[in-house]
Amino acid sequence: MNAQPALLSVRDLRIVFDGRRGPLTALDGVSFEIAPGEILGVVGESGAGKSLTGTAVIGLLDPPGRLAGGEIRLSGQRIDNLPAETMRKLRGRRIGAIFQDPLTSLHPLLTVGEQLVETITTHLPVGKAEARKRALDLLKEVGIPAAETRIDHYPHQFSGGMRQRVVIALALCAEPTLIIADEPTTALDVSIQAQITTLLKRLCREHGTAIMLVTHDMGVIAETADRVAVMYAGRVVEIGPVEEVTRRPRHPYTAGLMASIPSVHRRNAALNQIDGSMPRLNAIPTGCAFNPRCGLATDLCRQTKPSLPVSDHAAACHFPLREIAHG
- pLDDT-above-70 percentage for the chain: 95
Domain 8-94+174-315 has CATH 3.10.129.10: no
Q: Where are the domains of the chain?
A: 8-94+174-315, 95-173
Q: What is the pLDDT of residues 97-136, one digit of tens each?
A: 998 788 888 999 999 999 999 999 999 999 999 999 999 9
Which residues, listed in sequence order, are joined to residue 235 by a DSSP beta bridge? 232
Residues with Cβ < 8 Å from 309, sequence gap 6 or more?
315
Q: What is the pLDDT of residues 29-41, one digit of tens each?
A: 999 999 999 999 9
- 188 vs 289, residue with greater confidence: 289
* CA distances (Å), origin 213, targets 43, 62, 146, 153, 261: 8, 21, 29, 28, 19
- pLDDT-above-90 percentage for the chain: 70
**Residue 3 pLDDT > 70:** no
Q: Given pLDDT bands bounded at 50, 70 and 90, which one contains residue 1? A: very low
CB 50 within 8 A of CB 234: no
CB 168 within 8 A of CB 200: yes
| Helix, coil or strand: residue 10 | strand
Amino acid at 249: P
* Mean pLDDT, rounded, for 146-168: 93
